[in-house]
Amino acid sequence: MSREIFLIAGLGNPGEEYAHTRHNAGFDAAERLEKRLGLTLRKKLLLRGETAEWSDGEKKVVLCRPLTFMNDSGDCVKRLVSWYNCPMDHLLVIYDDIDLEPGRLRMRKSGGPGTHNGMRSIVEKLGSQDFPRLRIGTGDRPAGQDLVSWVLGHYPAEERLKMDQVFDLAADCAEDWVRNGADHAMQLAAKGGKN
């Protein structure tokens, strides 16, 4: 009997210069899952990302970090979905959101990409927006600051602890989504991801 497939994609930009920046919140959440589950993400050239697999009972779960750079995330995610023949409601995308306060989480079963270029790329490549997503609040830029420098910037020291906690909560929500479904994980995100 074949196991159900679940895909979790944490978005970000590859390379040390982007590590732990606001735009890499999805990578940071994926890293928490990787560590807590004892996984090692390995590069899959065909998928244009790093992946690791594990079993959760009768469910096979694939964790992925796209290596395509944020604005082309859809290429990796489309390849991933096609390779594993995964239904849309079994794909969870984790990413940063400047419209949420730092330290907040919001999960939805579907919806538009908003202003997020990585999500725009995914929606365009998949031809669908009917997949779950978990947004990690990073806060909006101060008035007058360039958006690109803001999202590619690092958290100030006073926010770093809060963000470390929310990355753990995001990993909790992703695991909960696999085990208990989107509705349950949405409640967990709403309860746990508050300041």
Exactly one of 20, 23, 90, 154 is catalytic; name it: 23
Q: Which residue has the higher pLDDT, 114 or 12?
A: 12
Q: In what order do the strands lie in the sheet with 91-97?
A: 42-44, 49-56, 59-66, 4-10, 91-97, 133-137, 105-108
With a cut of 80, say whether residue 142 has pLDDT above it: no
Q: How many domains does the chain have?
A: 1
Strands 42-44 and 49-56: antiparallel
- Residue 75 pLDDT: 98
Whole-prediction pTM value?
0.95
With a cut of 60, say whether residue 166 has pLDDT above it: yes
What CATH number has the domain bearing residue 71? 3.40.50.1470
Active site residue 23: yes
Q: How confident is the model at residue 184 (pLDDT cuts 50, 70, 90)?
A: very high
Q: What is the total residue count of the chain?
A: 195
Q: Whose structure tokens read 């978005």? A: 11
Q: Which residues contact 111 (CB under 8 A, 6 or more apart)?
A: 129, 133
Instruction: Work out the mean pLDDT of the chain and round it to a whole number.
Output: 93
- Residue 122 pLDDT: 98
Q: How confident is the model at residue 195 (pLDDT cuts 50, 70, 90)?
A: very low
With a cut of 60, say whether residue 2 has pLDDT above it: yes
Give the residue numbers spanning the domain of 145.
Answer: 4-192
